[in-house]
C-alpha cells in the first residue's frame, strides 16, 4: 500500500503552485520535456487508450507560427514562455489499442463503432492526460500557465494538419517569475462543490 507523499510535495504540486503569466529567462531542456512526458503518460485512461498528443512549441519559428493564432492577451506571455505545449487528442486513438491494451486487443472495437463515442472518449481522456501533464510538470519543478483563448481551427491546421489530432488547450511551461504573481483567487468550499451520498 502506497504511503502518503510528503506535505512538501503536496504543496509543490497543489497548495503553493500557481498559474504563471511571467517567466524567467531560463530554458527548459529536451531532457526535462522527455522526463515530463515519461511521467504524465503513466496516469490512467480508459482501457489505457492514451489519446493525448502534444506539440512542444519551443523554437522561434514555431512560436512565430503560433502567435497570430492566440488571443491578443495570450500572445506576450506565450512568446516569453520557454515552451508552450499544445495539448491535443487523437480522434483515432483506438488504432493503438492493440498495442496499449494487449491483454484484450479487441477492445479497439469498443471505441470505433461510433464516431461520437470515440470523440467523447478522446476528449475526456485527453483532458485527463492534460491534467497529468501539469501535475508532472510541477513535480519536476516547472511552473504552468494553462489557457484557452486561441484559434482552435487555426492551431489544428498549423500544427496537426493532415492528421486526426485536434487541439484541446495550451499550457505554457517554464520557470515562473514569482515576483509578478497576483494574489491567489479563491476556491469553492467543500460544501459548495461536493456531496457525500
123-149 pLDDT, tens digit per residue, is 999 999 999 999 999 999 999 999 999
pTM of the model: 0.96
Nearest to 171 by CA among 146, 143, 134: 146
pLDDT of residue 112: 83
Per-residue pLDDT band for 1 (boundaries 50, 70, 90) equals confident
User: 18-176 adopts what CATH topology?
Assistant: NADH Oxidase (3.40.109)
What burial letters (b/e) apply to 67-87, b meaning 16+ CB within 10 Å? Answer: eebbeeebbebbbbbbbbbbb
Rounded Cα distance, 173 and 144, in Å: 5
Nearest to 107 by CA among 93, 119, 120: 93
Dmax over Cα atoms in the chain, in whole Å?
53
pLDDT of residue 30: 98
Q: Where are the domains of the chain?
A: 18-176
Residue 59: φ, ψ to 5°: -80, 155
pLDDT of residue 15: 97
Rounded Cα distance, 161 and 59, in Å: 19
pLDDT of residue 53: 98
pLDDT of residue 49: 97
Q: At what angle do helices 115-139 and 30-40 cross, to 10 degrees?
A: 120
Per-residue pLDDT band for 91 (boundaries 50, 70, 90) equals very high
Rounded Cα distance, 16 and 139, in Å: 12
Amino acid at each position: 500500500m502506497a504511503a502518503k507523499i510528503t506535505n512538501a510535495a503536496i504543496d509543490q504540486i497543489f497548495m503553493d503552485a500557481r498559474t504563471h503569466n511571467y517567466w524567467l529567462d531560463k530554458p527548459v531542456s529536451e531532457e526535462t520535456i522527455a522526463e515530463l512526458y515519461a511521467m504524465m503518460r503513466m496516469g490512467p485512461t480508459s482501457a489505457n487508450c492514451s489519446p493525448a498528443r502534444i506539440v512542444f512549441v519551443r523554437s522561434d519559428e514555431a512560436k512565430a507560427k503560433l502567435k497570430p493564432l492566440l488571443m491578443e492577451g495570450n500572445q506576450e506571455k506565450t512568446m516569453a514562455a520557454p515552451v508552450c505545449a499544445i495539448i491535443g487528442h487523437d480522434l483515432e486513438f483506438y488504432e493503438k489499442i492493440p498495442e496499449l491494451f494487449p491483454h484484450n486487443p479487441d477492445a479497439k472495437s469498443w471505441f470505433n463503432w461510433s464516431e461520437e463515442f470515440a470523440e467523447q472518449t478522446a476528449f475526456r481522456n485527453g483532458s485527463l492526460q492534460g491534467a497529468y501533464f501539469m501535475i508532472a510538470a510541477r513535480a519536476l519543478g516547472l511552473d504552468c500557465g494553462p489557457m484557452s483563448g486561441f484559434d482552435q481551427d487555426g492551431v489544428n491546421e498549423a500544427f496537426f494538419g493532415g492528421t486526426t489530432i485536434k487541439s484541446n488547450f495550451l499550457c505554457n511551461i517554464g520557470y515562473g517569475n514569482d515576483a509578478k504573481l497576483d494574489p491567489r483567487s479563491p476556491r469553492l468550499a467543500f460544501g459548495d462543490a461536493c456531496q457525500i451520498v
